[in-house]
Amino acid sequence: MALRAGWIGLGAMGAPMAMHLLRAGHPLAVWARRKEVMKPHVDAGARRCASPAEVAANADVVFTMVTATADSEAVALGEESIVEGARPGTVVVDMATVSPVATREIAARLKARDLEHLDAPVSGGPAGAAAATLAIMVGGRPEVFARVKPLLARLGRHVLHMGGHGAGQVTKLCNQVAQVVNVQGIAEAMLFAAVNGVDPAKVREALMGGFAASKMLELLGERMVDRTFDAGIPARLHHKDFGLVVELAHELGIAMPATALTAQQLAALMGHGWGTYDTSSLLRVLEAQSGVKPGG
């Protein structure tokens, strides 16, 4: 029989991911803070639940896709949470990007109640969630990963077990560092081109043909050229993730100067009130800091 799935958090990422499981034949129980977002799933056959505890009572595997570390802690361990409704052996899969340290603490507290935990953050954005082409980075016990992998394979194209609890979160934060530091470099290149009187669109085209080519140059570089900053992933999420990286790097005593600079630029972006816009808005931050008219 198909494993029963539960889903908590039906935002831009969670909603299509939950629907993939439902359409694959898994009985699905759902809960979200905003009741109206559950309607499409309920209309498609999902069970509407009044709390995370009720979701857990009706699922073998409970997926959570919330925003921040505190949210993951609340739905797993707080009042009317998963831990209050789950039976022994239930697996909790946290697909949000949250603190690796907190992830290990959540996993330990769930284990004390005979519950399993996987951290499984994703990369690919809303488009990848809709197309089920996400990269999924998983931390936790190998045997639990093996049990849940068929469900994860319904959500992503690349599903990798990275190690013990927290390893998925560490991998996702590595992804964010490599990705957004690159975006900062692209923003600086686009500004440099414009101020020197060279067409940024042509510069981007030239760079895409050489070693500077990257997915970020392809996608976010295009948004910078077209100034379509309202598309893509909200920059506030990258700001949140970089906060996690900087905090952990400080605790570990390791030097990450490019990450620190990019974190400062993301903070400046938030200060301008652009957190709901795409992270390509780092170009606008540079323009403001340089006193350059938008667009060069």
Q: DSSP string covering 19-37, please?
A: HHHHHTT--EEEE-SSGGG
Q: DSSP string covering 204-260, please?
A: HHHHTTSTT--HHHHHHHHHHHHT-TTSSSBHHHHHHHHHHHHHHHHHHT---HHHH
Mean pLDDT of 3-30: 97
**Hey, CA dihedral for 37, 47, 89, 156, is it positive or negative?**
negative
Indicate if 240 belongs to the active site: no
Distance CA 133, CA 257 (A): 32
Closest CA to 154 of 1, 36, 2: 2
pLDDT for residue 254: 98
pLDDT at 161 over 90: yes
* pLDDT tens profile 239-272: 999 999 999 999 999 999 999 999 999 999 999 9
Q: If you count them, how many residues does the chain have?
A: 296
Q: What's the half-sphere exposure (Cβ side, CA atoms, 13 Å) at 98?
A: 28
Count of C-beta atoms within a 10 Å radius of residue 93:
27
Mean pLDDT of 166-183: 98
pLDDT for residue 294: 87
**Domain boundaries along the sequence of the chain:** 5-164, 171-290
Distance CA 185, CA 74 (A): 37
Spell out the residues 6+ positions from residue 100 whose beta carbon is closer than 8 angstroms to its own.
119, 166, 167, 169, 170, 173, 244, 248
3-class DSSP state of 45: coil
pLDDT at 93 over 80: yes
Q: DSSP string covering 53-84, please?
A: HHHHHT-SEEEE--SSHHHHHHHHHSTT-HHH
> Mean pLDDT for the chain?
97
β-partners of residue 278 are: 234
Q: How confident is the model at residue 231 (pLDDT cuts 50, 70, 90)?
A: confident
Closest CA to 180 of 110, 121, 264: 264
Q: How confident is the model at residue 225 (pLDDT cuts 50, 70, 90)?
A: very high
Among residues 39, 111, 149, 172, the one annotated as catalytic is 172
Distance CA 132, CA 151 (A): 11
The third-level CATH classification (topology) of the domain covering 171-290 is N-(1-d-carboxylethyl)-l-norvaline Dehydrogenase; domain 2 (1.10.1040)
Which pairs from 20-25 meet CB under 8 Å and 24+ separation? 20/132, 20/154, 20/155, 21/63, 21/151, 21/154, 21/155, 22/46, 24/154
* pLDDT tens profile 176-213: 999 999 999 999 999 999 999 999 999 999 999 999 99
Distance CA 115, CA 272 (A): 43
pLDDT at 1 over 80: no
pLDDT for residue 232: 83
Name the CA radius of gyration of the chain, rounded: 20
pLDDT at 295 over 90: no
Distance CA 87, CA 184 (A): 46
CATH number 3.40.50.300 is the correct assignment for the domain at 5-164: no
pLDDT for residue 91: 98
* pLDDT tens profile 105-125: 999 999 999 999 999 999 999
